[in-house]
Amino acid sequence: KPATKSRQNSSDPGLSKAKRPRSPLQKPREETVVAQEASSRAKPAAKPRSKKASRPVAGKKKSKSPPRKPWHALFSLPLKANWLILFGSAIVLFGALNFWLYYHKNAPSPFDIVDDETETSGFIPILIPASDDGEGNSAPTFDSAPLDADPADPDAGLIPDRLVIPAIFLDAPILPVHYKDIESGGVTYHQWRVPAEFAAGWQDESALLGLPGNTVLNGHHNAYGMVFKNLVKLDIGDLIIVYSGETEFRYEVAAKMLLPERGQTLETRMENARWMQTSADERLTLVTCWPADSDTHRVIVVAFPEGTYTPPAGDEPGGN
């Protein structure tokens, strides 16, 4: 019986795999792998269908949303973000407005520009009308002005060359300075120069020492040696000594003023300039700018010969 013999042979553990007979229905392994690869190439795998995908309905067109405007994005933000954007925009606008106002208020006028060096220092040039008609060209007066100097005094009529102010520890030379004429609106003005060094400047058309009139000294306070750096610290009654060679002239401070200057109208600046014009009495006037970081004001110190002026109660400078 051949079939029996074949089953016996296949069940015999002693036979090797190579010698075992193969079933007529079993295909070789190589043929099975080749068939699976051909089947995978012939039928591609189906893609997973999205849950949100929907089948188009026959006869119904898909509606298109209108294009979004640029400001729609702003309103789609959270309320807190909108407030932050509006607050930041307000700060930027406020800063720009302040810058514009500051620039226009502090922009130099033609009267403020003498030359590049002076303008860089921030000093406000001293401006005085150049007309000689005598109208409004005198310094303001005090109610109790001192007596005029004696024209017969042999020490009268001297050029100042040294300034000493013990209260602010100042000892500086004095140099003669002249003005530069500028014209605006058909009117000529004197712009007085200021020494570009540690020295006070004597305006050479102001009064000589010891004679009736106004002796005017100017100086920088935040540049070129800062000779008048502490002029603003003077008090009423402080002593000022001006020398001409070995001859000294002693003065006593009678008034100190801080007058707005930068950005002011021409009329205001001309009123301030009256303190540097001629006077009927003998006086000394010191002029500089203030404060150091902006030079917006003019410091004016007026002094009279020592022992000649005692301000009464309520006596104020200016007016006439």
In angstroms, the CA 94 to CA 77 distance is 24
Q: Region 60-77: what's the mean pLDDT?
A: 58
**pLDDT at residue 289, rounded to an integer:** 92
Residue with tokens 């193969």: 22
Average pLDDT of 168-196? 89
Site of tokens 């922009």 = 107
Q: What are phi and psi of 95, to 5 degrees?
A: -65, -40
- Kindly state the tokens that stand for 287: 């002029």
The rounded distance, in Å, linking the Cα atoms of 97 and 311 is 47
Name the phi and psi angles at 233, rounded to 5: -85, -5
Instruction: Give 117's pLDDT tier (boundaries 50, 70, 90).
Output: very low
Instruction: Tell me the two tokens of residue 291.
Output: 């404060």
- Residue 253 phi/psi, 5-degree rounding, is -65, 125
Q: Which residues contact 260 (CB under 8 A, 6 or more apart)?
A: 268, 296, 297, 298
Q: Is the pLDDT of residue 24 over 80?
A: no
pLDDT digits (tens, 9 = 90+) for 216-256: 999 999 989 999 999 999 999 999 999 999 999 999 999 99
- Mean pLDDT value of segment 6-23: 52
The burial of 158, by beta-carbon neighbours within 10 Å (0-12 exposed, 13-18 middle, 19 or more buried), is given as middle
Predicted confidence (pLDDT) at residue 118 exceeds the cutoff of 60: no
Whether the link from the prior residue into 291 is cis, omega within 30° of 0, is yes
**CA torsion angle 138 257 229 220 (round to 10):** -30
pLDDT at 291: 92
Which whole number is the average pLDDT over 272-286? Answer: 93
Note the pLDDT of residue 120.
Answer: 46
Instruction: Output the six-digit token pair for 230.
Output: 């502490």
Dist. CA 38–CA 23, nearest whole Å: 25
Tokens of residue 107, six digits:
């922009």
Using CA atoms, how far apart are residues 278 and 307, in angstroms rounded to an integer?
22
Q: Which helix H or strand E contains 302, and what residues bound it?
A: strand 297-305
- Which residue reads 């015999």 in tokens? 12
Strand 282-290 relative to strand 213-218, pairing: parallel
What is the per-residue burial (b if ≥16 Cβ within 10 Å, else e) of 294-308? Answer: ebbbbbbbbbbbeeb
